[in-house]
């Protein structure tokens, strides 16, 4: 049985390996359909010495802006924020967290924006969380089917109840109540996952990452050559405005990063390069 420290190292290694694989695949897409654009990596460390991360950003002709970040941070939650975190109820505010976060804003209005993240968090308790969602400007039934079928395949390998439960979580979470509209066409979202079988939970989290990568690549390839016009571009920028509103008002990851003194640029990597209202 793996010790907690071994589990942490396995998680850190997986997030880095997945990041590397995604960067390679996205650079291949850019080279095949756009330019020879590459990711630029910026390493950062927390000022309080509690870990850090690596921010990778690419601007190209297929990916107008895509960020794939990994981080491992630790320290002590503020007293107020600790009240919201499982495992801190007894006054122990120590935490450790590692994860990967991806947001892709595409040049073509016909290629959906996508978000994905997975993480492992340890307080006096331990859990995995994450998921992904798709935000098209012009929803396409086949794109939606591909995206959801990939996540369903990942879920069904572990528990038949996962997909309907995590899909519902995603639909409820990625929603803008002030607009009375969903952010996109959904996906899955899970948090506080601990079945008392760490290996199973870790393998599920890895499978979610693999299926997201493969599904999103398939969606990009089937849409990237479609022609688009300026009117469609305007609608894309307006949709991005909704994306900004959600991430600044409701996103838990944004809040977690800022409340744990993470790197501001890495936290706000999700912001699109251009948006409109």
DSSP line for 170-218: HHHHSEETTTTEESSS-EEEEEEE--S-HHHHHHHHHHHHHHHHHHHHH
- The 10 Å Cβ neighbour count of residue 220 is 22
Q: How confident is the model at residue 81 (pLDDT cuts 50, 70, 90)?
A: confident
Catalytic residue set: 115
Q: How confident is the model at residue 1 (pLDDT cuts 50, 70, 90)?
A: low
Tokens for 104, please give them: 């892709």
Describe the strand order of the beta sheet including 113-122 as a list of residue ranges.
Answer: 40-45, 51-58, 63-76, 94-106, 113-122, 126-135, 187-193
> Strand pairing partners for 217?
none
Residue 174: pLDDT over 90: yes
Domains defined for the chain, CATH in brackets: 4-270 (3.40.1500.10)
Mean pLDDT, the chain, rounded, equals 95
In whole angstroms, give the CA distance from residue 242 to residue 182: 10
pLDDT in tens, 15-49: 999 999 999 999 999 999 988 999 999 999 998 88
| Closest residue by Cα to residue 113 from 231, 211, 241 | 241
**Distances 157 to 16, 126, 150, 204 between C-alpha atoms, Å:** 23, 22, 11, 8
pLDDT in tens, 102-127: 999 999 999 999 999 999 999 999 99
- The 10 Å Cβ neighbour count of residue 35 is 12
Q: Using alpha carbons only, what angle is made at residue 42 by residues 71 and 96, rounded to the nearest 5 degrees?
A: 15
């Amino acid at each position: 049985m793996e010790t907690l420290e071994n589990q942490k190292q396995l998680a850190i290694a997986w997030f880095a390996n997945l990041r590397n694989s995604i960067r390679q695949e996205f650079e291949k897409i850019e080279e095949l359909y756009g330019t020879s654009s590459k990711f630029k990596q910026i390493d950062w460390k927390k000022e309080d010495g509690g870990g850090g991360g690596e921010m990778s950003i690419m601007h190209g002709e297929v990916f107008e802006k895509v960020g794939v970040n990994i981080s491992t941070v630790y320290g002590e939650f503020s007293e107020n924020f600790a009240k919201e975190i499982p495992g801190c109820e007894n006054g122990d505010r120590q935490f450790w967290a590692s994860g990967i976060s991806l947001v892709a804003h595409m040049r073509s209005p016909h290629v959906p924006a996508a978000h994905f993240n997975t993480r492992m968090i340890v307080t006096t308790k331990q859990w995995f969380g994450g998921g992904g969602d798709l935000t098209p400007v012009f929803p396409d039934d086949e794109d939606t089917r591909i995206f959801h079928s990939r996540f369903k395949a990942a879920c069904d390998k572990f528990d038949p109840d996962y997909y309907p439960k995590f899909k519902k979580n995603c639909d409820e979470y990625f929603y803008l109540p002030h607009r009375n509209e969903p952010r996109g066409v959904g996906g899955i979202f899970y948090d506080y996952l601990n079945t008392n079988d760490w290996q199973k939970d870790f393998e599920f989290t890895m499978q979610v990452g693999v299926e997201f990568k493969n599904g999103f690549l398939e969606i990009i390839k089937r849409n990237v050559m479609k022609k688009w016009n300026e009117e469609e571009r305007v609608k894309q920028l307006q949709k991005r405005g909704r994306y900004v509103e959600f991430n600044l008002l409701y996103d838990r990851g944004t809040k977690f990063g800022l409340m744990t003194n993470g790197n501001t640029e890495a936290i706000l990597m999700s912001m699109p390069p251009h948006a409109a209202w």
